[in-house]
Amino acid sequence: MNNSRLEAFSDGVIAIIITIMVLELKVPHGETLDALVPLIPVLLSYVLSFTYVGIYWNNHHHMLHACEQVTGPILWANLHLLFWLSLFPFTTAWVGENHRAAAPAALYGVVLLMAAIAYWLLQNRIIASQGADSLLKKAVGRDWKGRLSPLLYVVGIIAAFRSPESAQAVYLLVALLWFIPDRRIEGVLVHK
Amino acid sequence: MNNSRLEAFSDGVIAIIITIMVLELKVPHGETLDALVPLIPVLLSYVLSFTYVGIYWNNHHHMLHACEQVTGPILWANLHLLFWLSLFPFTTAWVGENHRAAAPAALYGVVLLMAAIAYWLLQNRIIASQGADSLLKKAVGRDWKGRLSPLLYVVGIIAAFRSPESAQAVYLLVALLWFIPDRRIEGVLVHK
Amino acid sequence: MNNSRLEAFSDGVIAIIITIMVLELKVPHGETLDALVPLIPVLLSYVLSFTYVGIYWNNHHHMLHACEQVTGPILWANLHLLFWLSLFPFTTAWVGENHRAAAPAALYGVVLLMAAIAYWLLQNRIIASQGADSLLKKAVGRDWKGRLSPLLYVVGIIAAFRSPESAQAVYLLVALLWFIPDRRIEGVLVHK
Amino acid sequence: MNNSRLEAFSDGVIAIIITIMVLELKVPHGETLDALVPLIPVLLSYVLSFTYVGIYWNNHHHMLHACEQVTGPILWANLHLLFWLSLFPFTTAWVGENHRAAAPAALYGVVLLMAAIAYWLLQNRIIASQGADSLLKKAVGRDWKGRLSPLLYVVGIIAAFRSPESAQAVYLLVALLWFIPDRRIEGVLVHK
C-alpha cells in the first residue's frame, strides 16, 4: 500500500477543518462597521489556528513524502493526529468568544499539545517502519522544534490561568517557530 | 473504469462525515472548565464514531484495493454504504445529547447495523464481479468479524431498551474487534 | 489540459453537497422514538436527493471519462452544473420541512430542471469540442432519458400546485429511470 | 516536490468554500413562494461569489499548471490566498443579509482586494522561483486584468459608502472581466 490515498484522505480532512473554522465567524446582526468590532478576537483566533493547520498540513506533507510504505499502525497514528486536529475548530471558537478567559486559553494549548504528541507518535511509527536506515530519521535529526514545542505548550497552559494573553503569546511564538517549512526533510529528500 | 475516482469520491465523503461530526461539539456558553462537563458524553460519542468511520475508511480502502474493475452495481453498492455512513453524524449527536436514553442508543446501533449490511453487500458485489477466482473472496476468507458484528449490533439494539450503557459497551467492543486493519486482505495482496 | 483536476474538483463539490444535505436532519429535542416521527419526511427527501446526486455523480463521471480535452467553455459549463447541484440541499430542506406544500415541491422540480439543462449544456459543449467524430455523441445516441427528464420535471412542477405528493412521485419516477448508470457510454468506451 | 498535492489541497479548500456559501441560503419559515422573496438578494450575492470562486479556481488551476517546482514560499503564498478566499462565505452572507448597507458592500470589496493581492503575491513567488526564463511570466505578459482589478476594487470600496448598489455593480464588472479563463497561459503552455 502506497501513501497516496493516505495523503488524499488527510488532505480532505485538513481542508475541511481549515474551512469549517471560518463558520465560527458568525454574520453580525448590525450592518455598520461597528458590528465587526466584537468579531476581531474571533478573527484573530481564526488566523492563529489557520496558521497552525497550515503548518501541520505542510509538515505532514513533507513527512508522508518520506514514507514509502504505509502500515496499519501508521494509518491509525495518522487518524489519531487527524482526531486532535479536528478539535481545533472547537477550541478556536471557544477562545474566540472568550478571549480573556483562562479555561479556553488553557484548553486551546491542551489540544495543541495533544496534536504535537500525535504528530510525534506518527513520526516515530514511520521511522520504526523504515528500520535502521530510516530516511525520515535522518531528515528529522535532533528535532529541536519537535522537542521544544510541547514544552512551550505546557508553559502556555500553565500561564493561561495567570494571564490568558500571555498563553496566546506563547502559542503565537510556537507557530512562528514552525512557520518555515521543514527544510531538513526537503534537504535529505533532494540528496536522496 | 478503474477504482481511483470511486476511491477519491468515497474519501471525500468519508472525510466530510468524519469532520462534520465535530460540529456537534457546540461551543459552551460559559468560560470556565465546568462549562465543558456537559460536553463529555458528546465528546465520547464523537470519539466512538470517529473510530468507526476510521475503521470503515481503512477497510474500505483495503477492499477497493482488491477490486480491479468497477461496475454499475458496485458503484451503487458503494453509494448505499456512504448513505448509511452519512447518518453517523445524526445518531452520534442524538446519543451525545441523550446518553442515558434508550431510543438514541438503539438507533445508533440500527445505523451501525445498516452500514455493516451495506458493507457486506458491497463486498459481495465485488466478489461476484471477480468470478470464481475472486481475490477478495480468498482475502476475506470465513469473514468471522463480518458475520459476528451484525449479531452484536442486534444484541446492542435490544440491550439499549434495558440499559443504554450496556448497548454502548457492545458497540465499543465491536469497534475494538475491528480496530486492527484487515490484515487478511493485506496478506493476500502481498502474495498476489 | 486534461480532465483529472476537473474531475477532482467536481468530486469534491459533489461529495460536500451530498454530505451537507444530512445536516438538515436536525437532532430532535426529545429522546424517545416518537421524536423521530417528524423527521420521516425530512429523511425521505434526503434519500431522494441523495439518489439524485448519486446519479449525477455517476453519469458525470462517465461523461468526463469520454472527454479527452477540457476547454474554457467546458470548465464553465461544469461550474454551471455544480451551481444548480449546490442548490439541492436548500430545496431538499424546504421540501423536507413542508412536504405537503405546493411551492417547495415546485421549486424542488425547478432546480432539478435547471440541473438537467446544465447537464445537457455541458454534454453539448463536450460534443462540440470533439468535432464530427465525437465519441460522446455516439455514446449518448438519441438520449431519450435526457430528453424525457426535463419534460417530466415540467409535469412535476405543474402538478405540484395541484398535489405536492404527485409531483414528488414524478421526481421519484425520473430518479428510477436514471438509476441504472449510463451503460450506453460504457458500451462505446469498451469498444473504443 | 511537485504541484499535485498542492493542487489537491487547494481544490479541496476551494470546493468547500464554494459549497458552504450555500449554507447561508437558510430554509424559509413559510411554505409559499412569497417566503422566497427575502432570499433573492442572498441568492444574488451567492451567485456573484460563486462566480468569483469559480474564476479563482480556474485561474489558480492554470497558474499552478505553469509551476513545475513548489517551494516553501509558494506553499505559504498559496495558503495566504486560501485564507482570503475562506472569508468569502462571511462577506457574502453579510452582503446578502444587508444588501443596501454601506459597510457590508465595502468589506466585500476589501476581501476581494486582499484575495487579488494574495493571488498577485503567489504569482510573483512562482515567477521568482522560475528565474529569468519564467514560463508563467511570459504567459501573464502585461497582466492588465491583474493590474486593473485591484484599482476597480478600491473604486468599489469607496463607492460603497455613497451607494452600495454601485459598489456591487463594480464587483460584477470585474467578475465579467475575468469570466473568460486565462487564455494567455493556455496559449503559452500549448506552444511549450
Q: Which residue has the cell 449518448?
A: C140
Question: Inter-chain contact C16–B17, Cβ cutoff 8 Å?
Answer: no
- Residues 6+ away with beta carbon under 8 Å from D91: D49, D104, D107, D108, D111
Q: What is the dihedral of CA B68, B72, B73, B79, to 10 degrees?
A: 90
CA of B161, closest CA in chain A: separation in Å?
31
In chain C, residues with a C-beta closer than 8 Å to the C-beta of B84 are none
Query: Cell digits for B75?
Result: 458503484
Beta carbons within 8 Å of D48's beta carbon, 6+ residues apart: D92, D168, D171, D172, D175
- Average the pLDDT over C39-50 and give the result: 94
Nearest chain D residue to C23, by CA: D23
User: Which residues in chain B have Cβ-Cβ distances shorter than 8 Å to A110?
Assistant: none
| Identity of residue C31 | E
**Would you call C19 and B107 a contact, using CB atoms and an 8 Å cutoff?**
no
Q: Which chains touch B (3 or more CB pairs under 8 A)?
A: A, C
The greatest distance separating any two alpha carbons of chain D, rounded to the nearest whole angstrom, comes to 62
What pLDDT shows up at residue A143? 78
Cα A173 to Cα A48: distance, rounded to the nearest angstrom: 10
* A11 CA: distance to closest CA in chain D (Å): 6
Q: Name the residue of chain D whose CA is nearest to C21's CA.
A: D23
Question: Which pLDDT value is given to residue C62?
Answer: 82
Please state the separation of Cα C10 from the chain's center in Å. Answer: 13
Please calculate the CA angle B17-B22-B23 and round it to the nearest 5 degrees: 95
Enumerate residues 6+ apart whose C-beta is below 8 A from B168.
B48, B95, B99, B105, B108, B156
Q: What is residue D143's three-state secondary structure?
A: coil
Q: Do D61 and C5 touch (CB under 8 A)?
A: yes
Residue A169: its pLDDT value, please? Answer: 95
Of A13, A72, A93, the CB nearest to B18: A13
Q: Which residues from A are below 8 Å from B19, CB to CB?
A: 13, 16-17, 20, 86
Please answer whether residues C10 and C67 qualify as being in contact, where contact means their C-beta atoms are separated by less than 8 angstroms. no
CB-CB under 8 Å, D11 with C12: yes
Q: What is the pLDDT of residues C104-118, one digit of tens each?
A: 999 999 999 999 999
Cα separation, B158 vs B89, in Å, equals 22
* d(CA C54, nearest CA chain B) in Å: 7
Chain C residues touching residue D8 (CB < 8 angstroms): 8
DSSP letter string, A66-117: T-----HHHHHHHHHHHHHHHTHHHHHHHHHH-TT-HHHHHHHHHHHHHHHH
Q: CA-to-CA distance for D10 and D7, rounded, in angstroms?
A: 5
Determine which of B112-126, D100-114, D128-142 has the lowest per-residue pLDDT on average. D128-142
Joined grid coordinates for residue D137? 511570466
Region at A131 (left for phi over 0; alpha for psi -120 to 50; beta for the rest): left
Find the radius of gyration of the CA atoms of chain B: 18
Distance from CA of A92 to the nearest CA of D (A): 16
Name the minimum distance, in Å, from the CA of C141 to any CA of chain D. 31
A3: closest chain D residue by CA: D5
What b/e string do you get for D159-175 counting C-beta neighbours within 10 Å, with b at 16 or more?
bbeeebeebbebbbebb
**φ, ψ (nearest 5 deg) of residue A28:** -70, 155
Residue by residue, DSSP assigns B61-108 as HHHHHT-----HHHHHHHHHHHHHHHTHHHHHHHHHH-TT-HHHHHHH
Contacts of D135 (CB under 8 A, 6+ apart): D66, D188, D189, D192
Tell how far CA D49 is from the center of its chain: 8
- pLDDT at residue D66 greater than cutoff 90: no
Out of A9, A75, A83, closest to residue B181 by CB: A75
The pLDDT of residue C8 is 85
Q: Which residues of B touch A15 (CB under 8 A)?
A: 15
Rounded to a whole number of angstroms, the distance from the CA of B19 to the nearest CA of chain A is 7
Tell me which residue of A49, A55, A60, A51 sits closest to A86, measured CA to CA.
A49
Distance, in Å, from the CA atom of A33 to the CA atom of D55, rounded to the nearest integer, reads 28
Average pLDDT, chain D: 88
Query: Which residues of chain C lie closer than 8 angstroms to D35, CB-CB?
Result: 103
Cβ contacts of C1 on chain D, cutoff 8 Å? 62, 65, 186, 189
Using one digit for the tens of pLDDT, what is the confidence trace for A64-120?
887 878 888 898 999 999 999 999 999 999 999 998 999 999 999 999 999 999 999
H or E segment and range at residue A190: helix A183-190
Q: What letter does residue B36 receive in the DSSP assignment?
A: G
Q: How far apart are CA D181 and CA D186, in angstroms?
A: 9
CA atoms of B86 and C190, how far apart (whole Å): 33
pLDDT band at residue B119 under the 50/70/90 scheme = very high
Averaged confidence pLDDT in chain C: 88
Give the whole-number percent of chain D exceeding pLDDT 70.
Answer: 92
Contact D104 A180 (CB under 8 A): no
Residues in D closer than 8 angstroms to A62, CB to CB, are: 1
Given an 8 Å threshold on Cβ–Cβ distance, is B76 in contact with C65? no
* d(C-alpha D146, C-alpha C119), whole Å: 32
Q: Place C44 in a pLDDT band, splitting at 50, 70 and 90.
A: very high
Instruction: Show which subunits contact D, needing at least 3 CB pairs below 8 angstroms.
Output: A, C
DSSP label of C87: T
A12 and B7: CB-CB below 8 Å? no
Max mean pLDDT among B44-48, C24-28, D72-76, D146-150 falls in B44-48
Taking CA atoms, what residue in A is nearest to B180? A72
Q: Do C104 and D31 meet the contact criterion of CB atoms below 8 Å apart?
A: yes
Q: Rounded CA gap, D113 and B98, in Å?
A: 47
Q: Which three cell numbers stand for residue B172?
A: 465499543
Query: pLDDT value at position C136?
Result: 77
What is the structure's pLDDT at B17? 94
For C124-145, the pLDDT digits (tens) are 999 888 887 777 787 777 777 8
Which pLDDT band, with edges at 50, 70 and 90, does B189 fall under? low
Task: Extract the C-alpha cell encoding D24.
Answer: 447561508
- Strands in chain B per DSSP E: none
Percentage of chain C exceeding pLDDT 90: 60
Cα–Cα distance measured from residue A179 to residue A51, given in angstroms and rounded to the nearest whole number: 8
Q: What is the pLDDT of residue D150?
A: 94
Which chains does chain A touch, 3 or more C-beta pairs < 8 A? B, D
Compute the distance between CA of residue B152 and CA of residue B113 in angstroms, rounded to an integer: 9
DSSP run (H or E) holding D125: helix D102-130
**pLDDT score of D182:** 54
Residue B171 cell numbers, joined: 458497540
